[in-house]
Structure 1
């Protein structure tokens, strides 16, 4: 029986050295093996970039269509694969970046079976660590789609290990390789050898003059692999406009609204470059004092 936290064997396909796609030779070192727990069969699937190249080639060579214009895949599609009849689709509302990214995992079978549970585990292979996986701010979705938030702590190449569980003896695991862009929205804080914290600011889609809702996640880790939400923080945010030498009034200090998540409001009195300072305290005293840069159009 495969438990959701136990991953099957994953490795590089050894017998394949290249792919010849209509005269284009591609290395296939990114092919992954996927093992299904029910019958322990092994599957291999192409990475998303290879799939997209195949689509481009087929589209450009006609395939029964008079239109040779290739429409690129939506930017929020991170990967699609089918494992023994289960099609797994990984999407994001925006390109992945350091900080909070909302993702969705959709699993479908021809017989219409619904997963009992879907889990996501993160790994950055080059550093051997993970990052926090949270609930989505705007609520869960049900049925065959699982939604969560991932707080990426570093830019670069990551793996998202997705487990689709239909029963105790029937689980499917797929590994998606994704690229995360840089941003200035995360702070990694090392308190001592036993404790570290991850704090991220989640800005609104667009900053504006006036009141802006702002969220902060706080997670704690002891091994940079497992993360727990921190619920006993007190936050004091202070907006400041360096070029004008003033702040603003009408701010609402963040308070906890769910596991590890704090919500407040910051008020900007004019457009331009601002900073938001967040003084975070724990019951024993000050944890950290962080500053984030903001541009208000």
Structure 2
């Protein structure tokens, strides 16, 4: 065969080989990219891997990602049904906290997600445990272990008794990174039905009055009160931050009949509401 025919044939073989190799070398997707491991919970069959953006549990709202690893095969389970129960052990009693259901993360094969709102912790982070119950192909499994929950520097969650005789929990979810601008303020509101049950509360109103105690307790313009969003079952409002520093978000909680359940207006005589959250940036 003449050289002028050999070269095109070799080029075609090389091109086809390259295409084939490209198809087989598709990079594996890292489904936990950007997340940090909090802890592994292990039984004789599986390792439950817990992740978050910070790699730690703190008081307040914690978005948690979960993977279930089969110890025998070293592979991750894609078809698990998961529930969980956080418990704090007190000297004379135990209680839970607000938490979501666990569902498969959108667009991911091996990652499940939910959230937990820790309303308190011990000074050294002790006191909490987490039980994960899960089902794989009709078989039930469980694992329980202690976890560490550290105190957040600012009050991003508060638990309180309201005038209707019920205990509520309010937790700030956003902004995660506050800025000098109109920020989306997003909070969760929960009612304690029992020591183990804290369902979300719908159709209340949370009024907002942000102040800077270190700057004459001045407020800011263009804030809006928080109203319930049925899509995510959270409360949303506009938070105007006009400068960096320490802010107190003075709140009032009103029920569906506009009766004030907790909190007061900020006035010359009353510098701060009894219901508030904090942020600093």
| C-alpha spacing 1:159/1:233, structure 2 compared with 1 (3 Å) | same
Corresponding residue for residue 251 of structure 1: 223
Distance of 1:201 and 1:182 partners within structure 2: 14
Larger Rg: 2
Q: Aligned match of 1:162 in 108, 132, 137? A: 132
Q: Is the 8 A contact 1:108 1:114 kept in 2?
A: no
| Cα RMSD after superposing both structures | 2.7
Corresponding residue for residue 222 of structure 1: 193
Distance of 1:82 and 1:279 partners within structure 2: 43
1:108 aligns with 2:81: no
Corresponding residue for residue 89 of structure 1: 49
Q: Aligned match of 1:121 in 78, 85, 105? A: 85
User: Which region of structure 1 is more displaced relative to structure 2, 107-116 or 172-181?
Assistant: 107-116
Corresponding residue for residue 147 of structure 1: 113
Map 1:1-297 to 2 at 5 A. 76-94=36-54, 95-109=56-70, 110=73, 113-126=77-90, 127-134=93-100, 142-156=108-122, 157-168=127-138, 170-183=139-152, 184-191=155-162, 195-242=166-213, 243-257=215-229, 258=231, 260-284=233-257, 285-289=259-263, 290-296=275-281
Q: Is the 8 A contact 1:162 1:175 kept in 2?
A: yes
Q: SS of 1:200's equivalent? A: strand
Task: Give me the TM-score of the superposition, normalised by structure 2.
Answer: 0.69
Q: Is the 8 A contact 1:153 1:188 kept in 2?
A: yes
Distance of 1:123 and 1:256 partners within structure 2: 28
Corresponding residue for residue 27 of structure 1: none
Task: Give me the TM-score of the superposition, normalised by structure 1.
Answer: 0.66
Count of residue correspondences:
220
How far the C-alpha of 1:123 sits from its partner, in A, is: 0.6
Distance of 2:49 and 2:227 partners within structure 1: 35
| C-alpha spacing 1:179/1:81, structure 2 compared with 1 (3 Å) | closer
How far the C-alpha of 1:221 sits from its partner, in A, is: 1.4
| C-alpha spacing 1:192/1:112, structure 2 compared with 1 (3 Å) | same
Distance of 1:226 and 1:178 partners within structure 2: 20
Unaligned runs of 5+ in 1: 1-73
| C-alpha spacing 1:193/1:141, structure 2 compared with 1 (3 Å) | farther
Corresponding residue for residue 39 of structure 1: none
How far the C-alpha of 1:119 sits from its partner, in A, is: 0.9
